[in-house]
Chain A
Amino acid sequence: MSRDPAFPPIGRLVDIASRMLAPNEREAVRGDLAESGATGIQALRDVLGLALRRQAALWKDWRPWLALCALAIPLGLFLSLASRRTADISSIYLWMYANNWDWSFLGSIAFWHGLAACLPAVLQSCLVLICLSSVSGFLIASLSRRTLWVQISVFCLVLLFAGLPGAPQFLNHALFLQPARGFNPNRVVFALGFYRIIVPLLVQAFLVLLPFFWATRQYRNAAAQKLR
């Protein structure tokens, strides 16, 4: 959609906001706003107001609530804990090899044995996370097409903040038995900010969010093609 010169100076924002409306309605609403000579702020307020009313009307149905409570929140929570575990295990091996590197390791049989043991475990853990995230994205997109953006926002919030202190740690223990961070000898690894904060965020971004968004996009494209 091209930028509409009728709504200066925030025509681009009006463009983006009006994408939340159905195509026919978008056409009529933008026409009405152009005809009434609305300023950018007025147009944005009107479009957002209508989009919010539309979204609120969808939530009167039970299905979006079911998708939110049975899928978006539980999957966000589960993937947050699973990604944290993958990040923690990867961090420990990464620390072992990267922070204690010595070129003489290359000549040691024990080093290659250790690498052969840990690499498949880490790769398997990453692959499982990618698959679970893709399936989650596909499920959420297929069960809540019209409230997708709200579902995705809640999923992302839960994913990002479930690992913070105060999150349901009982679930972590129940699902993953012994969190790597709680194990005393590993404290030296997680004392470093990179392994404690950056690696979990990278894992969430590349192994969870990227496959998740890819799957939702694939589903939406497939659904759009079916409609044509």
Chain B
Amino acid sequence: MLGEFEYLLLTAAVRLGEDAYGAAIRREIEQATGRRCSIGALYTTLDRLEAKGLVKTWLGDPTPQRGGRAKRMVSVTVKGTRAATAFYNAVTRVSRNVSWEAK
């Protein structure tokens, strides 16, 4: 079973598609959660997901707005998609008939 942050990262990577790389995923997570996402958390989680075979990463092309530095591109694997789907389904099932609105 995935952790919460792992799920966030996989979802952001899938949403970004071919433009999924470190800074873009970080931005996406920060916008979605309203919380700061540290580079340390992002890169160590990426490593963990890659070790589990849930994502694939490689060094992409450098761009001028990055000072000519390469990007760490991310692509979610089939196994990663399955793991994220399982996590989403579990959260949906467990949340059925539960209201989190303040009483």
B22:A4 contact, CB within 8 angstroms: no
Q: What 0/1 readout, one digit per residue, does chain A (34-57) give for beta carbons within 8 Å of chain B?
A: 111000000000110110111001
Cβ contact within 8 Å between A50 and B65: no
How many chain B residues sit at the interface, stated as a range, is 20 to 34
Closest to A31 in B: B69
- In terms of DSSP, what is the predominant structure of the interface of chain A? helix
Asked if B71 contacts A28 (CB within 8 A), the reply is: yes
Q: How far is the CB of B81 from chain A (nearest CB, A)?
A: 24
Contact between chains at A46 and B62 (CB < 8 Å): no
Q: Is A85 an interface residue (CB 8 A)?
A: no
- Residue-by-residue, is B48-74 near A (CB-CB < 8 Å gives 1, otherwise 0)? 000000000001001101110111100
Q: How many residues of A contact B (CB 8 A)?
A: 22
> Scoring B residues 25 to 51 as 1 if CB is less than 8 Å from chain A, else 0, what string do you get?
011000000000011110110000000
User: Closest CB of chain A to B3's CB: distance in Å?
Assistant: 15
Partner of B39, one of A24, A27, A50, A57: A50
Assembled-state Cα–Cα distance A29/B22 (Å) = 8
- Given A28-B22, A32-B23: A46 and B39 interface contact (C-beta under 8 Å): yes
- B67 partner residues in chain A, CB cutoff 8 A: 4, 6, 30-31, 34
Q: Which residue of A lies closest to B47 (CB)?
A: A57
CB <8 Å contact, B59 and A24: yes
Please name the 5 residue pairs, one residue from A and one from B, whose CB atoms are nearest each other, closest first: A31-B69, A49-B40, A31-B66, A28-B72, A32-B23
Complex A-B: 7 CB contacts under 8 Å: A24-B70, A28-B69, A28-B70, A28-B72, A32-B21, A32-B23, A35-B65
